[in-house]
Structure 1
Amino acid sequence: MATWITGTVVENKRWHDSLFSLRVKTEPFEFTAGQFVRLGLPGPEKRIQRAYSLVNSPGTEILDFMVTTVPEGELSPRLDQLKPGDTVEVSQPPSGFFILSEIPDGRSLWLIGTGTGIGPYFSMLGTEEPWERYQNIYLIHGVRSQADLIYPELIHQWQDRYPNRFTYQPVVTREPVVGALQARIPALIRSGELERATGGTLDTDAQIMLCGNPQMITDAKAELSAKGLEINLRRRPGNVTVEQYWK
C-alpha cells in the first residue's frame, strides 16, 4: 500500500512552453537511480496522480522531475502552475526495476531515451555505479526540437569529467541542429549512423537501455534484434532493457 508525504516546491524551471522541471523538497527517503514516484494533487473526488521518474540522484536534497504539459491532462497543467512554496504530494515507497542492478555487465552502456524518457539516465549518471561498471557510456537523446535538449549543465559536467568515456549524442528530428543527428533513432540504428556518429558499437559487449516513446522502443528493439541483441530478462539475460515509460 502506497503512502504519501508532502513536498514543498522550491523551483519550477521553465525550459519552454510545454516542458518544465519541478523541484521539490521533502523529508529524506531512499531510492535507487532509475526509480519513480507518483506526484499527486487533491481532486474534487480523489487525489489526481501520475508517475514521474526521479531525475536527481540518490542522496541529493531536492527531488527533480521532468514534466511535459498535456493541455487536456488532469494533472500536468496543474503542476505547471505550481510555484515556490506550493505543496505537492509524493508517493512512497519509490518503485520500478529500470535500474542498473538489473543490467548485466558489458564493455559499453547505451542510455537511449526520447523526450522526458531521458530522466532516469540523469539519475543513474550521477552515481558511481555506471562509471565503475562500464568502460564507455553513450547518452542518446531523441527530441523534436532543439529547445527539448535540456540539462546541458549536467551533460557538460560528465563530458569534462570523463572526456574519453562519455559520449552525448542529441537527435533532433524536426529541425537541423549543429552536432545533432536528424532521423528517428531506429533508423539511425538500422543504417549504422548512430554508431558512426558516436564511435561506439552496438554489439554483444554493449548493454542498451531504452526509455520513452513506445513506438521508438518497439522499432528500436526490432533493429537491435536484427543485430543479434535480445531483450534482457532475469530468467534470460540479454543486451536490451526497456522501460515502458508512457502508460
Structure 2
Amino acid sequence: MAQWLTGKVVENYRWNDTLFSLRVVTEHFPFTAGQFVRLGLQGEEQRIQRAYSLVNGPHESVLDFLVTRVEDGLLSPSLDKLQPGDEVEVSQPPSGFFVLDEIPDGDTLWLLSTGTGIGPYLSILSTDAPWRRFNKIVLVHAVRHAEDLAYQAKIEAWQQQHPEQLVYQPVVSREQVPGILKGRIPQLIETGELQQSVGQAFDDKSQVMLCGNPDMIRDCKALLDSMGLKKNLRRKPGQVTAEQYW
C-alpha cells in the first residue's frame, strides 16, 4: 500500500497556457532516474491522484513534474492552480522499471518521446550512467507546437557538455518551424528522415526507449520490429523498451 508525503510547492513554472512544471519539496527519498510517483490532492470524498514521472535527477532536492492541463481532467486543472506555499501529496515508494538498469548495453541510445513523455529522459540524462554507457545518445521530442518544447536550456547545456555524444531532435506536428522536423516519429523513421537528420541508424547495436503517446509507441514498436529490433525482456534481452503514459 502506498504511503504519502506532504509536499510544498516552491514553483509553478509556465511553459505555455496548458503546459507547466510543478516543483515541489518533500522530505528526501531515494529513487532511480526514470521512475514515477503519484501526485494527489484531497477531493470531497477521496484523494484524487495520478502518476507523474520525476523530471529531476535523484541527486536534486527539488522534485520536478512536467504536467499538461487537461480541461476535463480530474487532477491536472487543480495542479495547474497550485502556487508556492500550497501543499500536494506525493506517493511513496517510487515505482517503475523504465530505468537504465533494465536496458542492455549498446552503441546508440535512442530516447524517443512525445509531450510530457520527455520527463523520465531528462531525469536519466542528469545522471552519469547514460554518458558512461553509450557512445551516442539521440533525444527526440515530438510535440504539437514549438512552444511545447520544454527544458530547452537544460538540453542545450548537456549539448555543450557532450557535443560529440548528444544529438537533440525536436519534432512538431502542427506547424512548420525552421530547423525542426515536422510530422510523427513513426513516419519520420519509416521514411528515414529522422535517421538522416540525426546522422544515426537503427541497428542491432541500438537501444531504443519509447515514452509517451500510446499510438506512437504502438507504431514505433511495430516498425522497429520489422527492422529487426525486438522488444527488450528480462528473460530475453532486446533493443526496444517502452513506457506507456496512459
> If the length of structure 2 is used for normalisation, what is the TM-score?
0.99
Query: Which amino acid counterpart does residue 101 of structure 1 have in structure 2?
Result: D
Alignment size in residue pairs: 246
Q: Does 1:8 align with 2:2?
A: no
Q: Distance in 1 between matches of 2:79 and 2:195?
A: 38
Deviations 1:188-215 (A, max 9, x none): 1111111100001110100000000000
- TM-superposed CA distance for 1:178, in Å, is 1.7
Deviations 1:156-186 (A, max 9, x none): 1111000011000001110011211111100
Aligned 1:1-247 pairs, distance under 5 A: 1-246=1-246
Deviations 1:19-63 (A, max 9, x none): 100000110000000000000000111100000000000010100
In structure 1, stretches of 5+ residues that fail to align are none
> If the length of structure 1 is used for normalisation, what is the TM-score?
0.99
* Aligned partner of residue 232 in structure 2, secondary structure: coil
Query: Which amino acid counterpart does residue 2 of structure 1 have in structure 2?
Result: A
Between 175-184 and 143-152, the greater mean CA deviation after superposition? 175-184
**RMSD (CA atoms):** 0.5
- TM-superposed CA distance for 1:223, in Å, is 1.0
Q: Distance in 2 between matches of 1:229 and 1:6?
A: 43
Query: Which amino acid counterpart does residue 52 of structure 1 have in structure 2?
Result: Y
Query: Which amino acid counterpart does residue 25 of structure 2 have in structure 1?
Result: K
- TM-superposed CA distance for 1:245, in Å, is 1.4
In structure 2, stretches of 5+ residues that fail to align are none
Q: Distance in 1 between matches of 2:112 and 2:179?
A: 17
Report runs of 4+ in structure 1 exceeding 6 Å deviation. none
Deviations 1:95-148 (A, max 9, x none): 000000000000010000000001000000000000000000000000000000
Matched residues, percent identical?
A: 63
